[in-house]
Amino acid sequence: MQRIPNSRLVAILAALMFSWMPAAAHSDEGCADRRISANAVRELDDVRVFVECAKQYLDENGPEESLRAFNEEDRWKQGSIYVFVVEIHPSGETARRFVFPPEPSAQGTARGSINDFGTDLFAEIHRIMRDRDSGWTYYSNPHPVTGKRSPKASYVIRADWKGSPAVIGAGLYVPDVPGSCSGDEVSAAALTENPNDDTLRAFVRCASMVVGSNGYFAKHDLEEDPRWRDGTSYAFVLDVMGNQVITGNGLRVNGNSLHEWLSRDPYLDQFGGRNVVDVGGTFGESFIYYHYASPRTGTVVPKVGFFKRVVSQGVPLLVGAGYQPGPAGAGLGPGCSDNYATAAAVRTRADVRAFVQCAAEYALEHGEEEARRAFNEDARWRAGPTYVFVDGVQPSGEDALVHVFPPEPSREGSVWGTSVDAFGNDYYYELHRVLSVVDEGWVYYAFPNPETGLNQPKSSYVIEMDWNGDRAAIGAGIYSRDLPGTCDPGEVNALLLEVLPSDAKLQEFVRCAAYLLESGGYFAVPILTGNPRWKYGSIYVFGVDPTTGEVKFSGNPASFAVSGRQPELLYGGRDLNEAGGSFGETFWYYKFLNPATGTEQRKVSFVRLVQTSEGPVLVGSGYNP
């Protein structure tokens, strides 16, 4: 094994100790802790929760009742989201569909081969289930709403269906991955027609792929192609100084300071002195809320924007766009009955939003005093670093009351005081500013993490509400360890992944490795393949060309023995390199030589697509379950 310097080892062991501390709070209670209905599924993490709930429903109610519910009840089917159950069999010619809501008449019959990424989809499910009880599979399929063949990622869990081995699953057609981003689904016109957070995010993510691949040469596409500009909807690009270098708004001049600022006076601009460029660079993706003077009408209107950080040929940039929000309450999503989360279940930003929505509904139903007691005392509302807070909405922390703050209840009923972080203004001023534009949204800031004691980037979802007659915000947040501005070596490293292997820790590890390769290019390869942060025991980082399968670099020399031949040797013919390039991030399941033991073992890997000056690379790592 690799040796780690004593100073580094102390930091890592301290982080390891912290990682053990909240274990009791993260017990897996299935749908008792986190559940979601079909109409609330928006992201891949939602799909996993949805399928886990469907599996629990099947176990509790049996095949006959589940068949009826999955085909008929809105909880289990909405548009392109539905539950399927298929037989585990090595061929689609013989694998029967036990549940298939898009075509109920076909239930009980074989689907037929779906050859995608080199092999039959059912052969791939059969291969994965030989060694696992659950996992992700990636393919393309006719979209039941658009009719177009589109990339789809499905999560499946092993199940029994009347004595036959089967998998229960569901999937999501993702419009903003490298293999999709179709102009007839994601465009400025689509954003103009349907302005909301989901279409905005997809638009910006797809525009960022153009910038990531072409750098400043994307200027012609973003400024001239009607796909990227339609009326008030257009893409723009900022450098790290906030200068606008590309814009689809013909009335703007490139090179001006931050997009659509009204004034250079820190507290008169649209962002109240908030350095939203640093926010976007730190969090990787961020919503921004502001008022701006429309260049076409001259009127000042609210706007919801979204930034995504990209690194093109070593140069960090922010790609963005925005929309004008509709009437108050028009953008409200599913409530707690459809999207339920407790504090112990919060893992992602999607979980945070569901958690806050549930907290707001609880406060409205039970009143302020009971809500304050519950938020401070009940395990449903606090676990580890996750808790509900309620703050007064005032332009200054010198005036805003702290109504609920479980980490330090003695503060409740008093003012916090001015709290200025590295992004440039008072948290309370920023909260007030955001909620002057929208009724609910994201606030990004740095705040002490009660689990580690460190001041760390935190993204919180907040909803405006009345609290004992005063204007207030109820919210909760998450400290993510795999953001461009975090990725602390003491929290994300090979040792922690070796000792506490999990899909979540693997994703963090790979994403942080990918940021290093994005920024440093191939100069980062010696660090990724030799530094003990990235190589320890059975854990190592590798890079694969998604178009050829060539292993570009690896911390395990055995990887080069399968260079260019992984589909045939590891995945039963499935071209997971191509799938990784199409989806941007994918899990791989296979058997490979463990460098720590010298034996072949089952392996779970995760890869992320990175654009480098030498072409695309799938950066990955894995653990032995």
Which has more confidence, 406 or 254? 406
The predicted-structure confidence for 117-138, as pLDDT tens digits, reads as follows 999 999 999 999 999 999 999 9
Structure confidence at residue 141 (pLDDT): 86
pLDDT of residue 266: 45
Query: Could you tell me the pLDDT band of residue 15, with boundaries at 50, 70 and 90?
Result: very low
Q: Above 90 in pLDDT, residue 9?
A: no
**Can you state the percent helix, strand and coil of the chain, rounding each to 5?**
35, 30, 35
Low-confidence winner among 151-165, 281-295, 310-324, 604-618 (lowest mean pLDDT): 281-295
Is residue 18 predicted with pLDDT exceeding 50?
no
pLDDT (mean) for 298-320? 91
Distance of alpha carbon 544 from alpha carbon 528, whole angstroms: 13
Pairing state between β 615-623 and 541-544: antiparallel
Q: Which amino acid is at 293?
A: A
Give me the pLDDT at residue 296, please: 66
Confidence at 255, pLDDT banded by 50, 70, 90 = low
Closest Cα partner for 93 from 69, 115, 60?
Answer: 115
Region class of 107: left (phi > 0), else alpha (psi between -120 and 50), else beta: beta
pLDDT tens, residue by residue, 130-182: 999 999 999 998 887 778 888 999 999 999 999 999 999 999 999 999 999 99
CATH H-level, domain 33-173: superfamily: PAS domain (3.30.450.20)
Distance CA 509, CA 486 (A): 12
**What pLDDT, on the 0 to 100 scale, is given for residue 259?**
44
For the stretch 375-400, pLDDT in tens is: 999 999 999 999 999 999 999 999 99
Q: How confident is the model at residue 314 (pLDDT cuts 50, 70, 90)?
A: confident
Q: Provide the percentage of residues in the chain whose pLDDT is more than 90.
A: 80
Over residues 188-209, mean pLDDT: 96
Domain spans in the chain, listed from the N-terminal domain onward: 6-21+487-623, 33-173, 188-323, 339-478
Other beta carbons within 10 angstroms of residue 377's beta carbon come to 12
Quick check: helix, strand or coil at residue 59?
A: helix
DSSP conformation letters of 588-622:
EEEEEE-TTTSSEEEEEEEEEEEEETTEEEEEEEE
**Does the pLDDT value for residue 256 go beyond 50?**
yes
Residues 6+ apart with CB under 8 A from 137: 121, 124, 125, 128, 153, 154, 156, 169
Distances (CA, A) of 124 to 128, 153, 605: 6, 13, 16
CATH code for residues 188-323: 3.30.450.20
- Structure-token match 């461009």, residue found: 484
| Model confidence band, residue 27 (pLDDT cutoffs 50, 70, 90) | very low
Q: Using pLDDT thresholds of 50, 70 and 90, give the confidence band for residue 242.
A: confident
Residue 406 has pLDDT above 90, yes or no: yes
Q: Is the pLDDT of residue 2 over 50?
A: no
Q: 339-478: CATH homologous superfamily? A: PAS domain (3.30.450.20)
- Structure confidence by residue, pLDDT tens digits, 424-457: 889 999 999 999 999 999 999 999 998 888 899 9
**pLDDT interval class at 22 (50, 70, 90):** very low
pLDDT (tens digit, 9 = 90+) per residue, 519-530? 999 999 999 999
Tokens of 374: 């519950």
Helix crossing, 44-72 with 349-366: angle to 10°? Answer: 60
Domains 188-323 and 339-478 equal at CATH topology level: yes
Q: Residue for token digits 């986190």?
A: 34
Spatial contact of 225 and 185, defined as CB atoms under 8 Å apart: no
Confidence of residue 7 (pLDDT cuts 50, 70, 90): very low
Please report the pLDDT score of residue 3 as a whole number.
33
Q: What is the CATH number of domain 6-21+487-623?
A: 3.30.450.20
pLDDT at res. 251: 66
HSE value, Cβ hemisphere, 13 Å, CA-based, for 423:
29
Instruction: Report pLDDT digits (tens) over 326-373.
Output: 776 555 678 999 999 999 999 999 999 999 999 999 999 999 999 999
485-503: per-residue pLDDT in tens? 999 999 999 999 999 999 9
Q: Which pLDDT tens digit goes with each residue over 75-116? A: 999 999 999 999 999 999 999 999 999 999 999 999 898 899
* Separation in Å, CA 87 to CA 36, 93, 122, 429, 592: 25, 11, 9, 56, 27
Q: Are 99 and 72 in contact (CB under 8 A)?
A: no
Q: What is the distance between the alpha carbons of residues 518 and 523, in angstroms, rounded to a whole number?
A: 10
The pLDDT of residue 191 is 96
Q: What DSSP string runs through 401-453?
A: BEEE-TT-GGGTTSB----B-TTSSBHHHHHHHHTTT-SEEEEEEEEE-TTT-
Distance CA 617, CA 348 (A): 26
Q: Are 54 and 168 in contact (CB under 8 A)?
A: yes
- % the chain with pLDDT above 70: 91
Handedness of CA 160, 161, 164, 170 (dihedral sign): negative
pLDDT at 332: 63
Which pLDDT belongs to residue 163? 97
Alpha helices by DSSP H, listed for 262-303, are: 276-283
Which runs of consecutive H residues, i.e. helices, occur in 448-534?
494-499, 503-520, 525-530
pLDDT (0 to 100) of residue 254: 58
Under the banding of pLDDT at 50, 70 and 90, the label for residue 13 is very low
- Whether 149 and 143 have beta carbons less than 8 Å apart is answered as yes
Q: What stretch of H or E contains 213?
A: helix 197-214
- What is the pTM (predicted TM-score) of this model? 0.92
